[in-house]
Amino acid sequence: MNQPHSKSKSDIQASTHNTSDTNFIRQAIDEDIASNRFDGRVHTRFPPEPSGYLHIGHAKAICISFGIAEDYGGLYNLRFDDSNPITEESEYVEAIKRDVKWLGFDWEDREFYASDYFETLYEYGIKLIRKEKAYVCDLTPEETRTYRGTLTTPGKNSPYRDRSVEENMTLFQGMRNGEFPDGSRTLRAKIDMTSPNLNMRDPVMYRVLHAPHSRIDENWCIYPTYDFTHGQSDSIEGITHSLCDVQFEDHRPLYDWFLETLEIYPPRQIEFARLNLTYTVLGKRKLRVLVQEGHVNGWDDPRLPTLAGLRRRGYTPEAIRDFCNRIGVSKADNLIEIAQLEYSIRSDLNLHAPRVMAVLNPVKVVIDNYPEAQVEMLEADNNPEDENAGTREIPFSREIYIERDDFMEDPPRKFYRLAPGREVRLKHAYYITCESVIKDENTGEIVEIHCSYDPETRGGWSDDGRRVQGTLHWVSAEHAVDAEVRLYDSLFTEREPENAADGADWIQFINPNSLEVLNTCKAEPSLVDAAAGSRFQFLRIGYFCVDPDTTLDRLVFNRTVPLRDSWARIQKGQK
RNA sequence: AGGGCGGUGGCCAAGCGGUAAGGCACAGGUCUUUGGAACCUGCAUGCGUAGGUUCGAAUCCUACCCGCCCUGCCA
């Protein structure tokens, strides 16, 4: 199964293809297959802690671990690292499962929990005590820290380090039986307090924690630490390649020590760099702050880089997978530009999103020479990129709305839209020419634009070779449906909010204009029953997705991403 | 400072001793009933720096510089 797969660059459908076939992880796996290290098996896992929602950084990790397993015809597990009952909740377990499924991965029956292994882990603890490789330590947390030493100075042995096997057995049993208060004792590995790798300075394996675990009936009052849980969980599941964040690189010697000392099956751990994205923050703790302090409206706020947020924003799982595959895998620190993500969603939606017309900031246009009561149904193609998308009919009448920005009384050079005396095309309809403008006497605001139309240009075309000044989208005033449109901008004003003010509060860089709500939008009537979650291209504007806040009498759209706008770029350049 | 890991164009990233892939971004252009899309062209005499080995070095060696991670009974 590990044949190279060709990747066509324009066909996003091919995005079920996973990461580039030459990355260093695949090379390592190829070597292991060649040397028959794991009998040719490839078995990976994704091990989230259920203490928050998954974000785009997790998507990268999932695409790497699960995607590679898929490509090699291997297996992959979903395992919840639930070794800390006080920060973990079942709500998160459900959310994580929903998001992984949505991304398009099926772990079948291989759904595991570190808590499944608590009994085994406890036995491992006892085994290490028997081998005189673990001891119960009575040092307080503060003392433990002091004894550990610093980056440059070695630690000191705990005074409890040389307890007898019997005493350790009794004490450890007592810990499990609930005889000691929280924080009073730990079980520690007996390794080397002088190791330059701090993880090897007698790390804590078990702490006393009188807290119920949501998945376990038995009342545990000791819980294994992540370091004592993770590697053995991979071992128990027969994982061949434990792919993880580079931050665990210096934990690898510890995991290997546990595996060797315990004499159990050793997976191979390979580390890669985590994802960083411009103009946002990733990382559970920071996202939790945003949610809990109310800077956004919940974990699925469309401004968040969470998978739930991206989904609500209108991102497709295909686009996210495509993004993850495009950015590659390496060990170098990286900061991916948000434009890269936007590219992936645009190219997916360009191919698949039906085109519709909606006017975000409407201004009325009256076509004076169009028969007053007449309504014509005009045919419009649903997607020029997809010949199977078909057509629909759109009502046209004497009064329509166009985008306020599509008219200028005194247009600058290169303004290729409506202006006094100019003729433009109404997409799918007619050519119209601006004859006059009516303004509000007090404010000077344009309230109505009067135009004439050319009946010979039905469908928006004439055979006389006439060139018009542009093409506008529009919506029939009488037939339009009202809509609310939520426009999103980046959540932060700084490219790197976390590094923008050395050590200072990143929260200050939240973009006060990250959400703009438009309440007077007018959409073509075909959108009345658009289902929540459905995605469209609003012609000439961008891609939009129906928000679940939509009700029978109020349509709500989220802007997923605007269309590339070369006019905006010209304007920006002229400033 | 001790340890670990990194440093290839604005952002990613191939490259594994034979003379710098690709993508995003950007800049031009073609086409166009979306200023969209598509298509074409351009974009590193240079691979953190300095030496060395070699016919030949981003790739090997030496030294140095810079960045990230590690002193939770979090994961």
User: pLDDT at position A21, please?
Assistant: 72
Residue A274 a catalytic site member: yes
pLDDT confidence of residue A17: 54
pTM for the predicted model, two decimal places: 0.95
Q: Is the CB of A470 under 7 A from strand B?
A: yes
Report the pLDDT value the prediction gives residue A573, as an integer from 0 to 100. Answer: 72
Task: Match 């686009």 to its residue by tokens.
Answer: A319
Instruction: Name the residues in A473-532 having a C-beta closer than 7 Å to nucleic acid strand B.
Output: none
Nucleotide nearest to A417 (CA to C1'): B35
Distance A246 CA to B4 C1' (A): 10
Within 7 Å: CB of A195 and strand B?
no
Q: Please name the nucleotide lying closest to A332, CA to C1'.
A: B6
Q: Is A49 a residue of the active site?
A: yes
pLDDT at A9: 30
Structure confidence at residue A574 (pLDDT): 67
Q: How far is the CA of A483 from the C1' of B53 (A)?
A: 72
What are the angstrom distances between the C-alpha of A242 and each of A44, A45, A234, A257, A370? 6, 7, 7, 16, 69
Active-site pick, A284, A312, A355, A398: A284
Q: What is the pLDDT of residue A500?
A: 82
Model ipTM? 0.97
- The per-residue pLDDT for A503 is 60
Q: What is the pLDDT of residue A11?
A: 34
Of residues 386 to 425 in chain A, which lie within 7 A of strand B by their beta carbon?
414-417, 425
Residue A7 neighbours by CB distance under 10 Å: 14
Q: Comparing C-alpha atoms, which of A207, A257, A198 is closest to residue A231?
A: A257
Residues in chain A where the model's pLDDT stays below 70: 1-20, 502-504, 574-575
User: Cα angle at A392 between A398 and A353, to 5 degrees?
Assistant: 115
Nearest to A446 by CA among A460, A432, A436, A458: A436
Among all chains, which residue has been given the structure tokens 């590697």?
A231
Q: What is the 3-state secondary structure (H, E, C) of A513-544?
A: CCEEEEEEEEECHHHCCCCCCCEEEECCCEEE
The pLDDT value recorded for residue A373 is 93
- A20 beta carbon < 7 A from strand B? yes
- A41, A274, A326, A458: the active-site residue: A274
Output the pLDDT for position A388.
94
Number of other CB atoms surrounding residue A463 within 10 Å: 7
Note the CA–C1' distance, A165 to B45, in angstroms: 69
Containing A242, the helix (H) or strand (E) segment is: strand A241-245
